[in-house]
């Protein structure tokens, strides 16, 4: 009999099971909402990136339905052949105006936006100077570019400066950081990194996936939050989190966007968004502009929940955003906390190595504008009970 050529995969899965890292997918039977039915249980949902509750916003729903009726369900082609619909062009124009940049190109996801951009604007002769906690899509983009990768300690702009200073002056350099770090909820050292980029003539790039719709005026992101307009050459945003739909985009100069349209491989070789997705994202920009109170509510909820966890004695790390980690140590402890919370009616996903370093496993919580204070108090009460039961807090 033929030996299973994939046997090594089963061995690795057994290894994950032994470390307590094997997870089954949790399945939603309801909408993606603040209270959701997941694996048959009604829970307060603290695990989505649906910051503003837009996944179920009536305006977005109506515009998606209208687009389906008018344009059908698919685009039928990649962008450079026949897959550029007027909705795609309108979305890019609106995003460019929103971000106050010359132009924007939309990708199928934030992941592809990062990976495609880094890999296409650099070559093997160049260097990337990257925060150690940058998102996987940035890391993959760096690897695909074949540029040399220099990692600096998390949020340490001075270390980035020392790294850049030691490189040959004529070598092209890209400094890159997340705007908001997805596992810790802290902000990139953007003002300091911009100074380094200017001093040494580097390209400056920021991945604002978790800041889009959350930070800055009407959710314009961390560049707006830190007032760094004109100092970041490449801004990546996502349409999959606060915007409530799917996609990613790059905002920057006309030349950058034209270049990506000719060289970024997911743009060239993967089908564009269905028209309903583009229409949904357009509606979301309208909502960001017309309902800023949603962002206010998000931040009120984030402050209430974060301070509640801290008062209970949980270690919430250095979070400055609606992402609040509850750091407990090794992965099995985080998974136990997550599982017990779920039994108590709260969904907060456990996260361990390699997504976060050994010893820093956590349950990650994200509140949204759609949670009520009653939802959040219910979750805090569950955290208090389970945290005491598991000996995480007194």
Catalytic residues: 182, 210, 241
**CA 303/CA 313 separation, integer angstroms:** 16
Question: With 0-12 CB in 10 A as exposed, 13-18 as middle and 19+ as buried, what is 240?
Answer: buried
Of the two residues 137 and 338, which places its CB atom closer to ligand PLP in the complex? 137
141 binds ligand PLP (CB under 6 A): no
DSSP state of 366: E
DSSP state of 274: P
Question: With 0-12 CB in 10 A as exposed, 13-18 as middle and 19+ as buried, what is 201?
Answer: exposed
109 binds ligand PLP (CB under 6 A): yes
Residue 340 CB, nearest approach to ligand PLP (Å): 25
Of the two residues 84 and 355, which places its CB atom closer to ligand PLP in the complex? 355
Q: Which stretch binds ligand PLP (CB under 6 A): 62-70, 106-114, 304-312, 313-321?
A: 106-114
280 binds ligand PLP (CB under 6 A): no
Of the two residues 249 and 347, which places its CB atom closer to ligand PLP in the complex? 249
Residue 205 CB, nearest approach to ligand PLP (Å): 12
Which segments of the chain does DSSP mark as H helices, in order? 7-18, 58-71, 86-99, 110-121, 136-145, 157-165, 190-200, 222-225, 254-263, 265-269, 275-290, 293-312, 331-343, 373-389
Beta-strand pair 323-329/361-366: antiparallel
119 binds ligand PLP (CB under 6 A): no
Using CB under 6 A as the binding rule, the residues of this chain from 220 to 239 that contact ligand PLP are 238
CB contact at 8 A, 50 and 298? no
182 binds ligand PLP (CB under 6 A): yes
Copy the structure tokens of residue 202. 């580097």
Q: Which stretch binds ligand PLP (CB under 6 A): 53-61, 105-113, 281-289, 332-340?
A: 105-113
* C-beta nearest to ligand PLP: residue: 110
Which residues contribute to the site for ligand PLP (CB under 6 A)?
Answer: 109-111, 114, 135, 137, 178, 182, 207, 209-210, 238, 240, 248
């Amino acid at each position: 009999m033929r030996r299973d050529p994939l046997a090594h995969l089963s061995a690795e899965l057994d290894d994950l099971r032994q470390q307590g890292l094997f997870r089954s997918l949790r399945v939603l039977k309801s909408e993606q909402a603040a209270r959701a039915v997941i694996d048959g249980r009604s829970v307060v949902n603290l695990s989505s990136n649906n910051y503003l509750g837009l996944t179920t916003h009536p305006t977005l729903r109506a515009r998606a339905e209208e687009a389906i009726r008018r344009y059908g369900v698919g685009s039928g082609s990649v962008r450079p052949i026949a897959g550029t619909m007027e909705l795609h062009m309108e979305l890019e124009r609106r995003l460019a105006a929103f971000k106050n940049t010359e132009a924007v190109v939309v990708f199928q996801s934030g992941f592809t936006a990062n990976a495609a951009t880094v890999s296409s604007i650099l070559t093997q002769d160049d260097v990337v100077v990257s925060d150690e906690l940058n998102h996987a899509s940035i890391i993959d983009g760096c690897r695909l570019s074949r540029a040399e990768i220099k990692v600096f300690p998390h949020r340490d702009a001075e270390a980035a400066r020392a790294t850049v200073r030691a490189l040959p002056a004529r070598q092209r350099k890209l400094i890159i950081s997340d705007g908001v770090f997805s596992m810790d909820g802290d902000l990139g050292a953007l003002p300091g990194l911009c100074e380094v980029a200017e001093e040494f003539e580097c390209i400056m790039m920021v991945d604002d996936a978790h800041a889009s719709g959350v930070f800055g005026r009407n959710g314009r992101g961390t560049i707006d939050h830190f007032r760094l307009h004109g100092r970041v050459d490449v801004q990546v945003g996502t349409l999959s989190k606060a915007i409530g739909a799917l996609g990613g985009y790059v905002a920057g100069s006309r030349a950058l966007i034209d270049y990506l349209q000719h060289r970024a491989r997911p743009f060239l070789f993967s089908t564009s968004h269905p028209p309903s997705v583009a229409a949904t994202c357009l509606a979301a920009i309208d909502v960001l502009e017309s309902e800023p109170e949603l962002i206010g509510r998000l931040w009120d909820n984030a402050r209430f929940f974060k301070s509640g966890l801290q008062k209970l004695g949980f270690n919430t790390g250095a979070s400055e955003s609606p992402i609040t980690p509850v750091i407990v140590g090794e992965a099995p402890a985080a998974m136990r906390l997550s599982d017990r919370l779920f039994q108590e009616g709260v969904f907060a996903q456990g996260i361990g190595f390699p997504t976060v370093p050994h010893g820093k496993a956590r349950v990650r919580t994200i509140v949204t504008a759609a949670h009520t204070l009653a939802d959040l108090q219910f979750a805090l009460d569950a955290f208090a009970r389970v945290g005491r039961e598991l000996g995480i807090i007194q």
